[in-house]
Amino acid sequence: MAILVTPQTRILVQGITGSFGARHAQLSLDYGTQVVAGVTPGKGGQFFEHGSHKVPIFDTVEEAAKQTGATVSVVFVPPPFAADAILECNDAGLDLVVAITEGIPVFDMVRVKEKIRNSRTRLIGPNCPGLVTPGTGEKSHGGCRIGIAPGYIHKKGNVGVVSRSGTLTYEAVWQLTSRGFGQSTCVGIGGDPVNGTSHLDVLKMFNEDPETEAIIMIGEIGGSAEEEAANWAGEHCKKPIAGFIAGTTAPPGRRMGHAGAIVSGGQGTAEGKIAAMKAAGIAVAETPSVMAETLLRHWGKL
């Protein structure tokens, strides 16, 4: 089953005519993703061509969704305009919007979060690598790749991966694939302080997904999302989980990498997150290099 998206999910790309959006639209098409529309205001009626693919471009999300049946959007729109791009998806009633854009002003995201709070449209990101549900073809082609993750490292299987860090997502996926263990869905939720979907949201989906048998959850300093997810998992999730927290050596008050990765007021420390995970029965990897090994031992596969 996987979560959130399947190989049949129909995707539209906002910002498909920009260099970054175009490059990753091409890679998604190569992966077998059903990219059925692009959206760039003022360029409606044109086409995005790649190999044998000829993707129609529309001026608005509403028109693109209506004409092509797209239910999911990926946003490659510059920061000043990204919030409105997300809200356009909400207004069009899409199921999911994945915001890749980094550097969206926090105030803009507060406005977005308030408007989509009770909406049918789920937001992943911003400042995230997106998500991948691997397919069954060679190098998992025929799957659904939304965003910037390298599709070729994925393998269809039964491990769910959720992470605030893009690069650590890729590391966990590659470690699993190299050991012969595939993934159900891999979700990068992004590292900004105001985002859409949390660790807890994704854990609940993995817990309910019969295809997902084990989970890797990757967090970092800042905020309390990892503790909340761990506390819930300790009471409700019976599937084996391995975790890793980045930023154990970060000095208090200094932002490390992501905008949300900052320890302030004594909250959001790596030590607190690791303690919460261990108390919930989650196996915690000491370094990124042993994330898959930690899960497989906890799962009884080694």
**Residues annotated catalytic, as ranges:** 258
- How far is residue 263 from each of residues 58, 267, 277, measured CA to CA in Å? 43, 6, 18
Nearest to 209 by CA among 186, 179, 230, 190: 186
- In three-state form (DSSP H/G/I as H, E/B as E, the rest C), the secondary structure along the chain is CCCCCCCCCEEEEECCCCHHHHHHHHHHHHHCCEEEEEECCCCCCCEEEECCEEEEEECCHHHHHHHHCCCEEEECCCHHHHHHHHHHHHHHCCCEEEECCCCCCHHHHHHHHHHHCCCCCEEECCCCCEEEECCCCHHHCCCEEEECCCHHHCCEEEEEEEECCHHHHHHHHHHHHHCCCCEEEEEECCCCCCCCCCHHHHHHHHHHCCCCCEEEEEEECCCCHHHHHHHHHHHHCCCCEEEEEECCCCCCCCCCCCCCCCCECCECCHHHHHHHHHHCCCEECCCHHHHHHHHHHHHCCC
